[in-house]
């Protein structure tokens, strides 16, 4: 019972409010009536305001190519801002707009929604040539791309000599090639960490050309030391055309822009590129990309604080693929692997290279969920498994005779045998299914097992390439 009797205050909401003479504390009196100090109400309003000021993250959990573009496009209407936070034109996010296919490499996947702002963040490395081509492709759909596309002035540029350095570096590796897309991504990030880079904000400087020549000469010395020659004159012509093209865009202070939108209560979706197992720190090093692909990269790639991150939506295929070199424990070298590739049309959106295919790797997937803090899962290309009588999931690695459920430090130096659990296939065309109630029981068993193993739940199933081919799981 409260010793200090509260005094009555006016109420115009139908809820009686009392001024509590004692600081902190809640007084419960008169049956079911609860009376709170005014500071408590202020805290509630502050909490609700904070809850609206959050960023959701959508990223891939495997080695890229999980189908993130379509999923971002699906969720896009729930957001006011979509922002790319890392990577470069080595990404390939495939969308189907008006039944026509388009692949976005650098532009955020919200560009086809007229009321959504799209930001290319500071963590991205940007190729002006590819950006120009992308914009022309988007314009063919009748979209005024310049209206809602913003570019952070801190975004680093990919130069023609970066592409040459990429080719030279890969050539020197011989049989140890990592499978680079040769887009200049790695050398561009090296210039960033080496504090040599040119950034988007620099193109507004009248001395930009002289800055470019100075960096180009540095690069040429490196190429000469590697005894590598590449005629970049045509690349340079395109580059400067791209630079001139970029000057029409809203080049802004990205970190202030994104935080202002968050402060206004606008929902933001951070769009990742590549996949978590390609993260430069936590992926299958050295067969990785050059940026932080995991959720932590949102903070450094956009300039937002960690406490602003709310939902982390992880995207995984119903099976597994990888393009380029590097470890892949569940890779299939038989007819099953070839059938997965054929049915799933598994060829790189950026390079066109055939993807390596295999069963889903739950050891790697659980690791990716852990380091990202995944709160929801989306399973894509589930329809590819329609034709298989038997499905398998890898739930252990056998290394040196021991069963493990951890991703080892250096996969390339180990012989890893995947240990599988088998499931009966559903052998049903699921491409027209709209409700989870209509999903075959065998498929529900497959999904339930994965949920239990990962400790995170699949909330959406993609059952075809179309925008509308998504099955929500309530």
Sequence-distant (6+) residues with CB within 8 A of 309 are 54, 55, 56, 57, 295, 298, 299, 373
Asked whether the predicted pLDDT for residue 2 surpasses 60, the reply is no
Write out pLDDT tens, residues 55-82.
Answer: 999 999 999 999 998 999 899 999 999 9
Q: How far apart are the first and last CA of the chain?
A: 44
Contact 328, 303 (CB under 8 A): no
What is the average pLDDT value for the chain, to the nearest integer?
89
Sketch out the chain's domains with CATH numbers: 7-52 (no CATH), 55-153+249-472 (3.90.170.10)
- Name which of 104-113, 173-182, 459-468 the model is least confident about: 173-182
pLDDT at 182: 86
Contact 57, 270 (CB under 8 A): yes
Active-site annotation holds for 219: no
Contact 81, 115 (CB under 8 A): no
Write out pLDDT tens, residues 91-104.
Answer: 788 888 877 888 89
Tell me the mean pLDDT in the region 211-231.
Answer: 94
Contact 310, 56 (CB under 8 A): yes
Active-site annotation holds for 227: no
Q: What letter would DSSP give residue 368?
A: H
Give residue 33's pLDDT band: very low, low, confident or very high (50, 70, 90): low
Q: Of these residues, 93, 105, 162, 219, which one is catalytic?
A: 93
Of 72, 140, 148, the C-alpha closest to 101 is 140
Q: Of these residues, 65, 279, 361, 383, which one is catalytic?
A: 65
pLDDT at 52: 57
Return the SS3 of 408: coil
CA geometry: angle 8, 11, 14, nearest 5 deg: 125
Of 353, 355, 364, 278, the C-alpha closest to 329 is 364
Cα separation of 282 and 294, whole Å? 9
Asked whether the predicted pLDDT for residue 9 surpasses 50, the reply is no
Of 10, 6, 9, 8, the C-alpha closest to 26 is 6
Tell me the mean pLDDT in the region 200-216.
Answer: 97
pLDDT at 101: 85
Percentage of residues in the chain having pLDDT higher than 90:
76
């Amino acid at each position: 019972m409260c010793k200090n009797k509260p005094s009555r205050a006016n109420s115009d909401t139908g809820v009686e409010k009392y001024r509590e003479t004692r600081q902190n504390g809640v007084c419960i009196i008169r049956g079911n009536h609860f009376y709170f100090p005014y500071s408590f109400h202020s805290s509630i309003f502050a909490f609700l305001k904070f809850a609206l000021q959050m960023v959701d993250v959508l990223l891939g959990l495997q080695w890229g190519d999980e189908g993130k573009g379509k999923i971002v496009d699906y969720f896009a209407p729930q957001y006011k801002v979509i922002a790319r936070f890392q990577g470069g034109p080595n990404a390939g996010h495939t969308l189907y707009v008006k039944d026509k296919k388009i692949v976005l490499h650098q532009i955020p996947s919200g560009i086809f929604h007229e009321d959504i702002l799209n930001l290319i963040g500071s963590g991205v490395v940007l190729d002006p040539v590819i950006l120009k081509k992308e914009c022309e492709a988007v314009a063919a759909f009748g979209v005024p791309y310049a209206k809602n596309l913003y570019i952070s002035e801190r975004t680093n540029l990919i130069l023609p000599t970066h592409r040459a350095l990429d080719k030279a570096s890969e050539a020197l590796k011989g049989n140890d090639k990592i499978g680079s897309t040769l887009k200049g991504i790695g050398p561009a990030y090296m210039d960033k960490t080496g504090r040599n880079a040119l950034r988007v904000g620099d193109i507004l400087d009248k001395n930009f050309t002289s800055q470019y020549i100075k960096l180009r000469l540095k690069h040429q010395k490196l190429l000469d030391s590697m005894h590598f020659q590449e005629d970049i004159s045509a690349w340079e012509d395109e580059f400067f055309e791209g630079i001139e093209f970029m000057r029409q865009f809203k080049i802004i202070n990205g970190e202030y822009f994104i935080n202002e939108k968050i402060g206004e209560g606008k929902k933001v979706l951070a769009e990742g590129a590549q996949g978590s197992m390609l993260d430069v720190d936590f992926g299958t090093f050295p067969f990785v990309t050059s940026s932080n692909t995991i959720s932590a990269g949102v903070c450094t790639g956009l300039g937002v604080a960690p406490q602003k991150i709310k939902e982390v939506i992880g995207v995984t295929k119903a099976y597994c693929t990888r393009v380029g070199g590097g470890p892949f424990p569940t890779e299939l070298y038989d007819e099953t692997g070839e059938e997965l590739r054929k049915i799933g049309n598994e060829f790189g959106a950026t390079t066109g290279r055939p993807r390596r295919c295999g069963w889903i790797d739950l050891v790697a997937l659980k690791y990716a969920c852990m380091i990202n803090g995944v709160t929801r899962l989306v399973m894509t290309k589930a329809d590819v498994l329609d034709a298989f009588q038997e499905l398998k999931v890898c739930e252990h690695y056998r290394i040196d005779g021991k069963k493990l459920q951890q991703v080892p430090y250096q996969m390339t130096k180990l012989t890893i045998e995947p240990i599988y659990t088998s499931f009966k296939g559903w052998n049903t065309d699921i491409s027209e299914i709209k409700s989870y109630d209509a999903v075959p029981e065998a498929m529900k068993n497959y999904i339930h097992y994965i949920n239990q193993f990962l400790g995170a739940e699949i909330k959406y199933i993609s059952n075809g390439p179309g925008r509308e081919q998504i099955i929500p799981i309530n």
